[in-house]
Amino acid sequence: MTLRTAAWVLLAGGLIAGSLGAPPADVVPRQAGGYWVLDADFHVHAFAGDGALAPWALRREAQRAGLEVFALTNHNQTVTARIARWLADSTPGPIVLVGQEVTNRDYHISAVGIEATIDAGQPAAKVIEDIHAQGGVAIANHPESPNYTAAYDDRALRSLDGFERAHPVLYSTPARTASFESFAARVTAVNPAAAFIGSSDYHGGGTPGWCRTYVLARERTAASVIEAVRDGRTVAADPDGKLFGPPEYVQLVQTVGGGRRPETNDWQATTASAVAWLGLLGLVVAPRRAQRRAT
């Protein structure tokens, strides 16, 4: 078997394995204060793109994690997200929102609820303006260093719809913890209605929803989720279940059991992801080796 053939076998096997496993548990709808309380993750990645799982496998994994909504936000493209939404439209499971992680060397912004790709080579404020022009919401991603947060001037901070207050790197170092805290203070000082967001930044390791957002939506629809983020009706949860957000919304989330540490049984998804990425790496390396042999 040639290296290229083996790579195709690994890639196909990883993608197939990621779609198998225990069936997802049914999500029990919850209400509090006249709102639906929906578990959401506004920052996940899929194959083809920056993630290891194919869209259908990612949706299944999200459902296993108890998510009712997720935004597929591959770096600087929306093609995979639009395919994922199309695949999800006729089947039960989490709502899929089309998104993009607008990836600039100075900042990353999740554009959620868009259709066309946003130009990442612009200042943050202009990117946010372009997201709003498509009816989407703009969420500042993982503000993990002072250099990163410097990309947001007051205009950008005032126009943000939300910011990641919980993310897997939140407690990785004291400096990152402090950066998340100071950025939250900057945003809320000029934009008190900005939504508190918890995101997993899922690429293949861990599980979707490891950090998550509780959305207080008027209806269980994509449009209502976007509206809730725009209005700041969200609560962020870190991996230990600690909640961040307006006290009145935190209290509502707690009344329906929100804030418990999420459970995960992600060995299968992680293994499938590793196998798929190994196959993809083989496909990149194999032609080069073949060319060297020919010369």
- pLDDT tens digits for range 39-75: 999 999 999 899 989 999 999 999 999 999 999 999 9
Task: Assign 261 a pLDDT band (cuts: 50, 70, 90).
Answer: low
Determine the average pLDDT of the residues in 142-147.
85
Task: Assign 149 a pLDDT band (cuts: 50, 70, 90).
Answer: confident
Determine the average pLDDT of the residues in 153-163.
97
Cis peptide upstream of residue 65 (ω within 30 degrees of 0): no
Handedness of CA 171, 172, 174, 178 (dihedral sign): negative
Burial readout 49-58 (b: 16 or more C-beta within 10 A, e: otherwise) = bbbbbbbbbb
Task: Assign 28 a pLDDT band (cuts: 50, 70, 90).
Answer: confident
pLDDT at position 67: 96
Q: Which residue has the tokens 């600087």?
A: 76
160 versus 89: the higher-pLDDT residue is 160
d(CA 185, CA 166): 14
- The residue count for the chain: 295
Q: Is the pLDDT of residue 295 over 50?
A: no
Q: Is the pLDDT of residue 282 over 70?
A: no
pTM: 0.85
23 versus 271: the higher-pLDDT residue is 271
96 forms bridges with which residues in the sheet?
A: 70
Q: Is the pLDDT of residue 158 over 80?
A: yes
Q: Which of 158, 155, 73 is nearest to 114 (CA)?
A: 73
* pLDDT tens digits along 226-236: 999 999 999 99
Task: Assign 133 a pLDDT band (cuts: 50, 70, 90).
Answer: very high
Q: Is the pLDDT of residue 291 over 50?
A: no
pLDDT at position 161: 98
Q: Is the pLDDT of residue 292 over 50?
A: no
Q: Is the pLDDT of residue 78 over 70?
A: yes
Q: Which of 158, 143, 162 is nearest to 234 (CA)?
A: 162
Q: Taking the CB of residue 45, how many other CB atoms lie within 10 A of it? A: 23
Determine the average pLDDT of the residues in 11-37.
72
Q: Is the pLDDT of residue 273 over 50?
A: yes
> What does 203-243 look like in DSSP terms, one character per residue?
SSSS-TTSSEEEEEESSSSHHHHHHHHHHT-EEEE-TT--E
Domains of the chain: 25-263 (3.20.20.140)
* pLDDT tens digits along 103-115: 999 999 999 999 9
Distances in whole angstroms, Cα of residue 153 to Cα of each of 125, 126, 177, 200, 218: 8, 11, 21, 26, 32
pLDDT at position 281: 54
Q: Taking the CB of residue 173, how many other CB atoms lie within 10 A of it? A: 11
Q: Is the pLDDT of residue 141 over 70?
A: yes
Q: Which of 74, 228, 247 is nearest to 162 (CA)?
A: 228
pLDDT at position 272: 59
> What does 36-103 look like in DSSP terms, one character per residue?
EEEEEEEEE--TTTT-SS-HHHHHHHHHHTT-SEEEE--BT--HHHHHHHHHHTTSSS-EEEEEEEEE
Q: What is the mean pLDDT of the chain?
A: 87
H helices then E strands: how many in the chain? 10, 11
70 forms bridges with which residues in the sheet?
A: 41, 96
CB 98 within 8 A of CB 81: yes
